[in-house]
Amino acid sequence: MKVVADVPYAFCFEPVLEGAWMPLPLSVLLNLASKWYYAVSGNKLIIRTESAIYCIGNRRHPMISNTRRAFLSKLAKFAGAPLLCGGGAFGFGSLLERHRVEVERHEIKLALGERAPAKLRALTMGDFHFDPLYEADYVAQCVSIANSLKPDVIFLTGDYVTSKSDRIGEFAGLLSKLCPRSGIFACLGNHDHWSNAGKIMGALESAGVRMLVNQQTRVNCAGGELVVAGLQSVWAGKPDWSLASRGLRRDERAVVLVHEPDFARTLSEDRRIALQLSGHTHGGQVRVPFYGALRLPTWGRLFQSGIYDLDALKLHVNRGIGTITFHVRLFCPPEIACFDISNIGAADA
Ligand SMILES: [Fe+2]
């Protein structure tokens, strides 16, 4: 008699199929989902779960009493439908939707000032969370999609890693293939601050990304001069707009990169900011119909995804590229945001 917990995950399929009570499609679905999750996370809980399924399913298992087997069988029958729905959703979310990148296109009008370009195309990408999955092919695919949109500028909104920066060089190498006409500009996310921010900034700068940490810069693009500022993470750093806005002329309005969207409440008080670009929320990552996001992070609860107007400030929150904790997305695919911006001229500051 095999004991499931002692065999490698690759062989756990067979014992579950022995279970007489479980429909075959559900077995297949649960096993594919659990194998994938075990493979990427090494989570021993999956093996324990499979072991339990085996004990319930295998009526001859010597380690389980008849009374307990009867109880577990009833429980399994009762839980069959929810498991089928849950397993299907988990399989779709983890295997399909997590990599189904959507390009969200927005045509927006902003008063950027007389010196800014009349029109430009800008992209935002963020929340790659390169570790722990290190999905280089997926990041390369996102880079390729971004390049195909032929942007003037690309803005990165932080959280390049989750907790480890040891392979940031590999990630930066992938980003170095981005080729906008006028540059890549980035801020840091809370996870970057917590994972050796200096090393992450150094690697990204070497790959041609201009890091903006409570700083601003002027970008020559599309026949004009665009003011771009970036702030430290609100949660993990000290965002300082008064420092970043030094030298901003009265008739200019800036594009500001700040990882956490809820800081818009503060930034909207300064009319010199035309557009705030943020990420951080992953759009909720898992969204339940008629309910919404299951979980939202600190500083990411007021504005979850998409475009918001706060007085003179326009805010955009992207859903990000990667995932965190449970590597599943449901009704919340990853996003590259593409903005076609028309400059309506002078700011009314
Ligand atoms: Fe974040």
* Residue-wise DSSP of 190-204: HHHHTTTHHHHHHHH
- 127 CA from centroid of ligand 1 (Å): 7
pLDDT value for 334: 98
How far is ligand 1, taken at its centre, from the CA of residue 47, in Å?
A: 30
pLDDT on residue 91: 61
pLDDT value of residue 40 = 52
Pick among 3.60.21.10, 3.10.20.600, 2.60.40.10, 3.90.25.10: CATH of 103-343: 3.60.21.10
Lowest-pLDDT range of 91-105, 162-176, 203-217: 91-105
Radius of gyration of the chain (CA): 24
Q: 264-294: per-residue pLDDT in tens?
A: 999 999 999 999 999 999 999 999 999 999 9
Q: 269 C-alpha to center of ligand 1: Å?
A: 23
Alpha carbon of 280 to ligand 1 centroid (Å): 4
| Backbone phi, psi, residue 130, to 5° | -60, -45
Distance CA 326, CA 243 (A): 37
Cα–ligand 1 centroid distance for 164 (angstroms): 14
**Is 313's pLDDT higher than 50?**
yes
- Model confidence at 56: pLDDT above 70: no
Residue 329: name the closest of 341, 340, 337, 321 by CA: 321
Which pLDDT score is estimated for 22? 46
Q: Tell whether the model's pLDDT for residue 46 goes beyond 50.
A: no
Centre of ligand 1 from the C-alpha of residue 86, in Å: 27
**pLDDT confidence of 17, banded at 50, 70, 90?**
very low
> Among 16-20, 101-105, 332-336, which stretch is predicted with the lowest mean pLDDT?
16-20
* pLDDT, mean over the chain: 84
Confidence of residue 32 (pLDDT cuts 50, 70, 90): low
The CB-side HSE value for 245 (13 A sphere, CA atoms) comes to: 18
pLDDT band with cut points at 50, 70 and 90 for residue 67: confident
Which percentage of the chain shows pLDDT scores above 70?
72
292-293 and 287-288 strand pairing: antiparallel
Q: Is pTM beyond 0.85 here?
A: no
Q: Please give the pLDDT value at position 41.
A: 52
Query: Taking the alpha carbons of 36, 38, 40, 41 in that order, is the dihedral positive or negative?
Result: positive
Give pLDDT, residue 62. Answer: 53
Encoding tokens for residue 343? Answer: 């400059």
Among the residue ranges 9-23, 159-173, 308-322, 334-348, the one predicted with the least confidence is 9-23
Alpha-carbon gap, residue 337 to 154, rounded angstroms: 10
What is the Å distance from ligand 1's center to 340 Cα?
26
Give the residue with greater pLDDT, 57 vs 322.
322
Task: Output 96 or 112, whichever has higher pLDDT.
Answer: 112
pLDDT over 90 percentage in the chain: 70
Kindly give the distance from the C-alpha atom of residue 311 to the centroid of ligand 1, in angstroms, as a whole number. Answer: 25
- pLDDT average, residue stretch 179-196: 98
Q: What does the pLDDT average to over 162-181?
A: 98
Residue range(s) in the chain whose domain bears CATH number 3.60.21.10: 103-343
pLDDT at 9 over 70: no
Q: Say if residue 64's pLDDT is above 70.
A: no
Distance 325 CA to ligand 1 centre (A): 12
**Is 53 within 8 Å of 19 (Cβ atoms)?**
yes
